[in-house]
Structure 1
Amino acid sequence: MPSLALHHVSIITADLATSLPFYRDVFKLAEIPRPNFPVKGAWLACGSLQIHLVVHPEGTFRRRPFVDRNDWHFAFRTDDFDATLERLEALGFREDLPEDHPNYLLVSRIGLAGFPQLYLRDPDLNVIEINGAP
């Protein structure tokens, strides 16, 4: 089989005006040119990969406002887990908030996978992992 490499992750959103600033500001992702598709959206650069936000209000959205790391999610890897955690905390994300709070963080400093992991949600309740994987 020919080799494969991940190109992008597509994330549905009900409201681009809320999701785009979240991904751009929280994760410091730069918006990149996107073809003029009939469906609204935005593309963001993430290293050599991309995050595609697609407006699709009829899509499959989570209903429960809780971090469930066993459910579908994607992960960013960071080379400085502690600095990333500090940045999120400076933006108002915290471990001591109620689990259904939009800025709740689930943090495993010594994750079962062998590296630190944290989880948060975007405005559409999509779960995002950030880890310090080697």
Structure 2
Amino acid sequence: MTNLSLNHFSIRSLEIEKTTQFYADVLGFTVGPRPEFPFPGVWMYNGDESDWANAVLHLIAIDKNDPNGLKQYLGDRDPSSLYGSGAVDHIAFFAKGLEAKLAHLKKLGITCRERSVPVLKLHQLFLDDPNGIVIELNYPAAEKAVLDAKGA
């Protein structure tokens, strides 16, 4: 067993505003402090914004007029490779409040794929962010059972 847990994930985005809005609206992340780097970006927090450890998502914007800061700091990437998950298949979170999330996604017009994994006692939602990255939300299977009993 290791002492590892998810610290943050980074996304290089050609659609920084849409991506920021997606993670704020869908997952409830908030925009918070970010160190000054030689390229634009946004850090999004899950929790107290005064604690850097809560900056779970680092969005990296590409300044099309001056991409050199990013190239020198993180290296160059072909913009055509920035759609979809690339080598990353998905990013997963444990979650609670399945009924409320499903209602929220419907209100936002965001479709999701659902799957139950009985052996793990999980009900999963899979959705795509504006960059084509798959987000997996894992809810207790008991929450799905309550919805099924209600006929929802």
Q: Do they superpose with TM above 0.5?
A: yes
CA–CA distance in 2 between the matches of 1:2 and 1:62? 29
Q: Report the structure, 1 or 2, having the larger helix content.
A: 2
Q: Which position in structure 2 is the counterpart of 1:68?
A: none
Equivalent in 41, 52, 58 of residue 52 of structure 1: 58
CA contact (8 A) 2:32 2:44 kept: yes
Query: Taking every aligned residue pair, what percent have the same amino acid on both sides?
Result: 32
Alignment size in residue pairs: 116
SS at match of 1:4: coil
Shift, 1:77, TM fit: 1.7
Q: How does 1:92-111 map to 2 (within 5 A)?
A: 92-93=109-110, 104-108=111-115, 110-111=116-117
CA–CA distance in 2 between the matches of 1:50 and 1:81? 21
Structural RMSD (CA): 2.6
Q: 1:62 to 1:37 in 2, by over 3 A?
A: same
CA contact (8 A) 2:10 2:58 kept: yes
Shift, 1:125, TM fit: 0.7
The alignment status of 1:122 with 2:129, answered yes or no, reads yes
Instruction: Kindly name which structure, 1 or 2, has the bigger radius of gyration based on alpha carbons.
Output: 2
CA–CA distance in 1 between the matches of 2:20 and 2:83? 17
Shift, 1:3, TM fit: 2.9
Unpaired runs of 5+ residues, structure 1, are 64-70, 94-103
Which amino acid in the other structure matches residue 56 of structure 2?
A: Q
Higher alpha-carbon deviation: 83-92 or 123-132: 83-92
Higher alpha-carbon deviation: 25-34 or 54-63: 54-63
SS at match of 2:96: coil
Higher alpha-carbon deviation: 71-80 or 50-59: 50-59
Shift, 1:53, TM fit: 1.0
Q: Which position in structure 1 is the counterpart of 2:144?
A: none
Higher relative contact order (CA 8 A, sep 6+): 1
Q: TM-score, normalised by structure 1?
A: 0.72
Q: 1:92 to 1:126 in 2, by over 3 A?
A: same
Equivalent in 72, 93, 96 of residue 79 of structure 1: 96
CA–CA distance in 2 between the matches of 1:131 and 1:7? 18
SS at match of 1:116: strand
CA–CA distance in 2 between the matches of 1:28 and 1:129? 15
Which amino acid in the other structure matches residue 91 of structure 1?
A: L
SS at match of 2:43: strand
